[in-house]
Amino acid sequence: MNGALKAAWGLVVFVIVVGAVLWATTGRAVFAVFIVLGVLTGIGAWLTGRSLPAAPTRKEQKS
């Protein structure tokens, strides 16, 4: 896991926690947007962090 991916996961946790705390303390449902954005960021981080299978290499033929 590289630094950018760690930062993305940190942002996910931060945004979701802040949204939940603000929604709970103020009672305003507008802070649910923070939770939605955090989840979307998490999905993006997960998709970006997945490894693609290695492409098959073609062996050169000697002639």
Q: Which two tokens stand for residue 24?
A: 């709970």
pLDDT (0 to 100) of residue 48: 77
- Contacts of the segment 36-43: beta carbons below 8 A, 24+ positions apart: 38/11, 38/12, 38/13, 38/14, 39/12, 41/8, 41/11, 41/12, 41/15, 42/9, 42/12, 42/16
- This prediction's pTM: 0.68
Tell me: the pLDDT tens digits for 3-59?
A: 877 888 888 899 999 999 999 999 998 999 999 999 998 888 788 776 666 667 777
Distance in angstroms (rounded) separating the CA atoms of residues 48 and 8: 10
pLDDT (0 to 100) of residue 19: 93
pLDDT (0 to 100) of residue 20: 94
Domain map (residue ranges) of the chain: 3-49
62 vs 31, higher pLDDT: 31
